[in-house]
């Protein structure tokens, strides 16, 4: 099957593989501990672990965009910040 029209590159392929692995991991987690672990965190509304992953990924996208727009094109520090942000989201939200 010719997928050249999708213009794949290694960096974008790795990005999507990571997203797919995250979803797969969340599926395994849900299988091991069903129910989604709902709780009310600092945002004062109930979130499941799926919600927390969504908030982490969406927030990370905006962190990267803000870093790119305000600081510069070197996004490695932004990626580190995203990891810290994701840990905080999974811990406190």
Q: Please give the residue ranges that form the binding site for another protein (CB under 8 A).
A: 4-9, 11-12, 15-16, 34, 44-46, 54, 58, 61-62, 65, 68-69, 73, 75
The residue count for the chain: 93
Give 51 or 90: the residue with its C-beta nearer to another protein. 51
Torsion 61-65-67-72 (CA) sign: positive
> Shortest distance, CB of residue 83 to another protein, whole angstroms?
19
> Shortest distance, CB of residue 25 to another protein, whole angstroms?
17
> Shortest distance, CB of residue 73 to another protein, whole angstroms?
5
CB 29 within 8 A of CB 39: no
Chain centroid, CA 54 distance in Å:
6
């Amino acid at each position: 099957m010719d997928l050249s029209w999708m213009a794949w590159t290694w960096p974008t392929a790795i990005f999507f593989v990571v997203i797919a692995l995250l979803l797969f991991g969340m599926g395994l987690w849900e299988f091991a501990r069903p129910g989604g672990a709902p709780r009310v965190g600092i945002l004062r509304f109930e979130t499941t672990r799926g919600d927390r992953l969504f908030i982490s990924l969406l927030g990370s996208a905006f962190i990267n965009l803000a870093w790119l727009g305000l600081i510069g094109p070197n996004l490695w520090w932004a990626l580190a910040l995203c990891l810290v942000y994701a840990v905080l989201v999974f811990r406190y939200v």
